[in-house]
């Protein structure tokens, strides 16, 4: 779920249009950077990253680690990410030649799998459910009875009936959402107009409301609504910007309704030009990894890699990490083919950890993704994935990609699925939006109101398992920086066996007013803890084989990044 949608659901709940099944918000917002803090010293359930630096890592030498961020793009010019963006040492920039012969021309900083060779790019995309419905409608659209269907096609026919029912329900939901959002946005426009007139300002922020004394009932009403909004979204954003986000989502909802009867693959054919149903048709896309709306990917990257201690914005987790951007996620559902090839691209170009803050309820070409996951397994690459934001049980309602291999009882050993936690208190430790699952979700990590980098050198607080996943990827990178011989299997072991547990505490089951033991909502029953993970890592004998070729390539990348930043190769050699 996008951050825009989360915010819109928040303001719908604020205005009592949809009743909230579970109130799990705080009267006060956690401090910026709470995700790095420690409960013993800061009274918030952060991942104890700052404590690890202060007590375990001081004076120790770190080694560079490459983390691929497979997402919706990334703003490589973000000030807090400078010096942390991957450079392909085998590619000469902007010469129009595939210098390293990897099939991707001028992929200097990564690759965009949802762009065309003519420079056009997919921004908004159809849902997987719509694509599957359209595909199967060609077969079953005129069928009124299962007796008309050949026996071998019955499974797909039943699948299509489920898609049809889901599509009709989604269509009704979108129509209701459009109607309700229109009404709410009209109210918010009125609130904004009244406050701007009363305050004599063009922009309404939380700070601007302080000291404002309403002179009439309209102003008092507007002030009351505004305070309710800012109480939920924080004070980092103006009311006008918030309303603009709402209108953008309203526009997207209207587009979904308009697109119901259109070919969901038409745009793909026009812009990208590949065959999305052929995994062997690989050499497509372009090198524009900052196109579209890279806010989400930039936020994710900042959680992992924003420069520590520079007094700008915020601190990331890992102090010597290199981010490799891979764009496969549009505003809509990513395609399995792009996910599979994105994983392979990251692995082939040296990523040791891959963060995947995306997901969807259908995966028609899951076998392609499974093969890519197995490829990453063989190459010793750790995959970290967001569990989803539907307040749903991943054990019963699948969220893709996942660790379960198709038509098999086997699971990927290099895959970590992450739910989102809050700053506390204990009963509210699980974020109300987060998916969970005793089998499918491995652990929880901070994912509520996480302050991080966004585009144009700005910063914002986002919530979602999309934020929790890079917390785990970042801690994995931090461990690997100081213990570079640990394998992906060992990294997963360390992270899962060092969690903070809350053995006696009952928590709300997301999306309900019912409680259960925290241990029942994930495999480990725990919260990410970088401090304990590093202590455990120190006791292990690393089994990762690092070839001279890999070492030399990494040194090349580091040297190129330093040269780009105006540093000599020997600068900060102890960092």
- Strands 515-517 and 506-508, by their bridges, are antiparallel
3-state secondary structure of 404: strand
Residue with tokens 């990253």: 49
Predicted local confidence at residue 9, as pLDDT = 53
Predicted local confidence at residue 558, as pLDDT = 96
- Rounded mean pLDDT, 366-374: 98
CA proximity to 320, closest of 1, 60, 132, 115: 60
320 and 246 together in one domain: no
In a domain, 14, yes or no: no
Q: Which of 227, 261, 295 is the last residue of a domain?
A: 261
Q: 220, 227 in Cβ contact below 8 A?
A: no
Helix 3-14 crosses helix 154-199 at what angle (to 10 degrees)? Answer: 60
Distance, CA of 79 to CA of 318 (rounded, Å) = 16
100 and 197 together in one domain: no
Does residue 311 come out as left (phi exceeding 0), alpha (psi in the -120 to 50 range) or beta? left
* Nearby residues of 331 by Cβ (< 8 Å), 6 or more positions away: 2, 72, 123, 124, 125, 252, 292, 293
In a domain, 531, yes or no: yes
Q: Which of 231, 261, 291 is the last residue of a domain?
A: 261
368 and 482 together in one domain: yes
The band of 67, judged by pLDDT with boundaries at 50, 70 and 90, is: very high
3-state secondary structure of 254: helix
Q: Rg of the Cα trace of the chain? A: 24
- Rounded mean pLDDT, 29-40: 94
In a domain, 571, yes or no: no
CA distances from 199 to 143, 231, 352 (A): 62, 20, 53
Whether the model clears a pTM of 0.75, i.e. scores above it, the answer is yes
CATH value at residue 351: 3.40.50.200
Q: 389, 465 in Cβ contact below 8 A?
A: yes
In a domain, 344, yes or no: yes
* Nearby residues of 378 by Cβ (< 8 Å), 6 or more positions away: none
483 and 399 together in one domain: yes
Residue 375 lies in domain: 31-126+265-564
* Nearby residues of 333 by Cβ (< 8 Å), 6 or more positions away: 125, 126, 127, 128, 129, 131, 360, 362
The tens digit of pLDDT for each residue in 35-48 reads 999 999 999 999 99
Q: In what order do the strands lie in the sheet with 382-386?
A: 111-112, 321-327, 65-71, 353-356, 382-386, 415-421, 443-446, 526-527, 500-501
In a domain, 21, yes or no: no
Predicted local confidence at residue 19, as pLDDT = 36
- Omega of the bond leading into 295 within 30 degrees of 0 (cis): no
496 and 402 together in one domain: yes
Q: Which of 210, 229, 261 is the last residue of a domain?
A: 261
193 and 277 together in one domain: no
Q: Within 13 A of 182's CA, how many CA atoms are on the CB side?
A: 10
Mean pLDDT of the chain: 92
In a domain, 219, yes or no: yes
Q: 330, 122 in Cβ contact below 8 A?
A: yes
The tens digit of pLDDT for each residue in 89-129 reads 999 999 999 999 999 999 999 999 999 999 999 999 999 99
Residue 341 CA to its chain's centroid (Å): 18
CB environment 83-117: b (16+ within 10 A), e (fewer): bbbbbbbebeeeeeeebeebebbbbbbbbbbbbbe
Residue with tokens 């390293």: 100
554 and 510 together in one domain: yes
177 and 118 together in one domain: no
396 and 541 together in one domain: yes
- Rounded mean pLDDT, 472-498: 98
The tens digit of pLDDT for each residue in 145-170 reads 888 999 999 999 999 999 999 888 88
Residue 182: is its pLDDT beyond 50? yes
Question: Nearest 5°: phi and psi at 164?
Answer: -65, -45
The tens digit of pLDDT for each residue in 205-241 reads 999 999 899 999 999 999 999 998 888 777 778 999 8
* Domain count along the chain: 2
In a domain, 158, yes or no: yes
In a domain, 12, yes or no: no
What is the H or E stretch that residue 388 is in?
A: none
388 and 506 together in one domain: yes
Predicted local confidence at residue 26, as pLDDT = 41
Distance, CA of 225 to CA of 178 (rounded, Å) = 21
Q: How many helices (H) and strands (E) does the chain have?
A: 15, 13
116 and 165 together in one domain: no
398 and 526 together in one domain: yes
């Amino acid at each position: 779920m996008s951050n825009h949608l989360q915010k819109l659901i928040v303001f719908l709940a604020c205005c009592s249009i949809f009743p909230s099944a579970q109130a799990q918000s705080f009267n006060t917002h956690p401090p910026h950077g709470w995700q790095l803090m420690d409960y013993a010293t800061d009274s918030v359930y952060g991942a104890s990253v700052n404590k690890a630096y202060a007590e375990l890592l001081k004076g120790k030498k770190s080694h560079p680690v490459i983390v691929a961020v497979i997402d919706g793009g990334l703003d490589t010019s973000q000030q807090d990410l400078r010096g942390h963006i991957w450079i392909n040492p085998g590619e000469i920039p902007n010469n129009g030649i595939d210098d390293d012969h990897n099939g991707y021309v001028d992929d200097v900083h990564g690759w965009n799998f949802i762009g065309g060779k003519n420079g056009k790019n997919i921004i908004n995309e159809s849902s997987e459910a719509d694509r599957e419905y359209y595909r199967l409608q060609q077969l079953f659209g005129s069928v009124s009875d299962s007796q008309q269907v050949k026996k071998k096609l019955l499974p797909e026919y039943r699948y299509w009936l489920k898609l049809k029912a889901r599509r009709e329900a989604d269509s009704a939901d979108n129509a209701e959402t459009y109607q309700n959002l229109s009404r709410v946005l009209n109210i918010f426009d009125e609130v904004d107009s009244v406050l701007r007139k009363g305050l004599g300002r063009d922009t309404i922020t939380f700070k601007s409301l302080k000291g404002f004394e309403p002179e009439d009932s309209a102003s008092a009403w507007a002030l009351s609504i505004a305070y309710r909004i800012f109480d939920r979204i924080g004070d980092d954003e103006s009311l006008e910007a918030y309303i603009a986000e709402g209108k953008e989502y309203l526009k997207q909802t209207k587009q979904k309704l308009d697109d119901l009867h259109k070919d969901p693959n038409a745009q793909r054919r026009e812009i990208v030009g590949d065959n999305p149903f052929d995994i062997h048709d690989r050499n497509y896309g372009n090198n524009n990894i900052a196109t579209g709306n890279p806010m989400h990917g930039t936020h994710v990257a900042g959680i992992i890699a924003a420069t520590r201690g520079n007094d700008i914005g915020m601190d990331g987790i890992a102090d010597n990490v290199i981010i490799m951007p891979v764009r496969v996620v549009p505003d809509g559902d990513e395609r399995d083919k792009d996910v599979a090839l994105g994983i392979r691209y990251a692995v082939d170009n040296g990523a040791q950890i891959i963060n995947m803050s995306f997901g969807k309820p259908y995966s028609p070409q899951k076998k392609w993704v499974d093969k890519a996951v197995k490829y990453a397994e063989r190459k010793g690459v750790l995959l970290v994935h967001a569990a989803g934001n539907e307040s749903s049980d991943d054990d019963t309602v699948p969220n893709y990609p996942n660790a379960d291999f198709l038509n098999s009882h086997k699971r990927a050993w290099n895959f970590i699925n992450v739910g989102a936690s809050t700053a506390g208190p204990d009963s509210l430790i699980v974020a109300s939006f987060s998916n969970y699952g005793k089998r499918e979700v491995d652990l929880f990590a901070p994912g509520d109101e996480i302050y991080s980098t966004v585009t144009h050198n700005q910063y914002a607080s986002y919530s979602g398992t999309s934020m929790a996943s890079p917390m785990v990827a970042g801690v994995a990178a931090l461990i690997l920086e100081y213990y570079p011989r640990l394998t992906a299997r060992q990294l997963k072991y360390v992270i899962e066996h060092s969690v903070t547990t809350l053995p006696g505490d009952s928590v709300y089951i997301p999306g309900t007013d019912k409680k259960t033991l925290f241990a029942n909502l994930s495999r480990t029953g725990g919260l990410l803890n970088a401090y304990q993970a590093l202590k455990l890592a120190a006791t292990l004998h690393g089994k990762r084989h690092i070839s001279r070729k890999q070492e030399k390539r990494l040194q090349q990348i580091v040297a190129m990044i330093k040269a780009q930043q105006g540093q000599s190769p020997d600068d900060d050699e102890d960092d």
